[in-house]
A and B are shown apart, each in its own frame.
Chain A
């Protein structure tokens, strides 16, 4: 039996390459890499049927640390290249590793169009709200007023919220996790891989050198229970150290209530439905910030048409109607004349 298990299932180290990992000590990327190895082992898609594509940036070094097929490409274009890989070979498991600059600044167009098409990619978006590899400029997810080398007096622009952009691009899967939460991050990566269509996993990662502590308020263990809410499909939206708080709808807004106060009971608390095609609630949840808890977990996971599948189905449908497969047969079936 043990032999059968050994060959039927891969372990995390089967997905690890022999390359030395070069991220800074203490960088959040190390944790995500480990979660990814674990998630892949759990999924047990063979390494040779897996392709990991990336753009440019600290996180985009990740393919070199995978014992799969890997392609470290150019800045921002990973989504387009991954689209080509998946469309050419639909049975590959294709991952796109990207960061907030790579994905949402230079690669913004490719990102929204990959999401819109619903290409079956697992996008892991490492969001540390900073350009690390170029040594500390603000990124498209940096908060307004953020001081950095390229914004010495603070930024004067609004950030993107990756969830809002994903949902605005008609995304079918969005999840959020924190680098330090290994168990949930691994589970979320597994869920993203099981989703058919583009899945976007925003991992809030810490850049220990240029933006240390950017997610501290929600990431620290002592704050996490009160400052975040972990959403699970079909379960009540509860949070707090004793799960004493929950979310209810107040008009068109979400509101935090405490069970037993102001007449609210457990029955009043909303139940998370990640599977509803209607994305309004998913948007409300994913946009929570400030006094509201930050939503973690799988926020949206709905079935829809998948780009590559539809494309290959169309080819099959055309081929079913037309027996021609060779160029010459095709040319001879057109308008031709014979010179004798």
Chain B
């Protein structure tokens, strides 16, 4: 045996698995991230699907990727650029040049780097690495296809089936590289292919062969170790934002003792919420796949009137179509949760890409003075809490709540501590049975403190009533066009939403409380902003982060928080919608802005650069 391979300890590392749509890269990445989580690393992952469903094999448009960021300290994003790239073909290499570090380890299947493979990926020479300028990459060239086929001879699989195990060979090699024992991966394969024992055996063989290949040939100069982080002892699972949103809605319904209803129309990137909730009939969830976006929200409004916790899920174009109906929920004062998984706009825009450009639409995109609650989720797992809050505020305050997530956190995933609902606040609908006034009950009579009207659900005896989209009289609840009454109702509907600031947490500031620069963000950029702050703190700079989940109404201490810092920068993936909103709400507030609208997540290093400039300005 040759001398031992060197072991290097790393704090965090980014691995990107990349290949053809059919190469099983999503499964490979998921297994690797899950087993890393089980070994006590923190993880954050992001799948990168091609826009086409099945592009021609080996072409640039058919490349599918899965990025995992793991570390021995808290991980907030899937990482800027990869330290390790697995490229199953030349197209995967070419597409990912911009996604990897200059000195990255690149594992390739040499059998898939033949002349015609290179041609398909539009290489003009036989030297793909030189052609791409990847001269300092550490290339691990392995004839993966050949070795997989040879290793599986005894299984008597046809050629195609054998080659489908290539991804497991690559996974085995990566497991060796990061000193991951294979037991958990084997266990996951057994679960995944429980009904196909022959496939399980073949995959495990390829996985083991890949691991042993690395070990026996010392495929790289060094292997890497990422120590366990101090994760809170508990049960964990892997969850993406759309699933967490679905579970948050279920949790809110469970807490409120209401049935959950989702009316929805398929739209990228929100459809997975409909998928998940359609499966949850075991938990009693009703889903209606409506004929269009408008019917999605309207069936939810009907279900809410009939006493459900009702929600609709959509993305920007769908929110535009729903706006009139959301206005109905505003004036009828019924609970409604609208989930907008933001994507690139305007119009159809970039359906699979992510940005934060629907904030103004959520806040003001309706006719009339039409206040609604607006919340934003900050990470994949925070989607659970945000959806729970959305359900709670909708039901307790008889109002539509628009929950903004985005494509990035909806599809990104991380390890999630399975929550105990006992630790979540109660949800108490303001049923009409709470009404203790002396005057006979009318549908628009309100609780004096919260201004919330009482909820009478069809089926309740003696509370028959009519509501609707026409303005109503404050006292009698009959249709009214009286001028003074309309002014009063406009004011009271706004006040009802404003008063919700009495029922939500104060805004917190993370980082240095005496920072020289306060970073302000909202929604799905949390991970990147937090990492930027941490990196700057590591460099000895004094920075803080105020990241907003509650947008309308803002937390009560918002003005005070923002006034505490000399320099404030509002950072968004839009042209400054939150910055402008804050300017309108807080007199004299005049922050710096950093805005990028590329459909891509922020790059942490770029943020650090920008914030450093601001500090020095």
Contacts and interface: CB of A to CB of B under 8 A. Distances in A.
Contact of A335 (B34, B231, B305, B327): B34
B90 to A, nearest CB: 34
B299 interface: yes
B286 A326 contact: no
A84 B237 contact: no
Interface stretch (B9-17, B76-84, B277-285, B397-405): B277-285
A92 B281 contact: no
Contacts of B503: none
Interface string A74-110: 1001001111111111011000000000000000011
B310 interface: yes
B191 interface: yes
A113 B295 contact: yes
Nearest to A106: B294
A315 interface: yes
B362 to A, nearest CB: 19
Size category of the B interface is 35 or more
A327 B283 contact: yes
Interface stretch (B246-254, B546-554, B567-575): B246-254
Contacts of B259: 88
A337 B290 contact: no
A140 B301 CA distance: 27
B133 interface: no
Contact of A81 (B38, B254, B302, B465): B302
A67 B463 CA distance: 10
Interface in B299-313: 299-308, 310
A334 B37 CA distance: 16
A233 interface: no
Given A68-B464, A325-B283, A88 B236 contact: no
Contacts of A17: 466
A293 interface: no
B30 to A, nearest CB: 10
B298 A51 contact: no
Main secondary structure of the interface of B (DSSP, over half): mixed
Contacts of B465: 69-70
B298 A110 contact: yes
Contacts of B328: 73-74
A48 B432 CA distance: 14
B464 A330 contact: no
Contacts of B288: 83-84, 87, 311
A326 B234 contact: no
Contact of A110 (B38, B295, B418): B295
A87 B235 contact: no
A70 B467 contact: yes
Contact of B282 (A68, A85, A324, A334): A324
Q: Which has the most chain B C-beta neighbours within 10 Å: A56, A311, A327?
A: A327
B73 to A, nearest CB: 15
A206 to B, nearest CB: 25
Given A84-B303, A92-B306, 13 more contacts: A47-B464, A69-B305, A71-B302, A71-B305, A73-B328, A80-B290, A83-B299, A325-B283, A326-B421, A331-B247, A335-B34, A337-B34, A339-B40
Interface of B: 34, 37-38, 40, 188, 191, 231-238, 247, 250-251, 254, 259, 261, 263, 280-284, 286, 288, 290-292, 294-295, 298-308, 310, 324-325, 327-328, 332, 418-421, 458-470, 478-479
Q: Which 10 A-B pairs have the closest CB atoms?
A: A84-B302, A72-B468, A80-B298, A84-B299, A70-B466, A88-B303, A88-B306, A80-B295, A81-B302, A69-B458
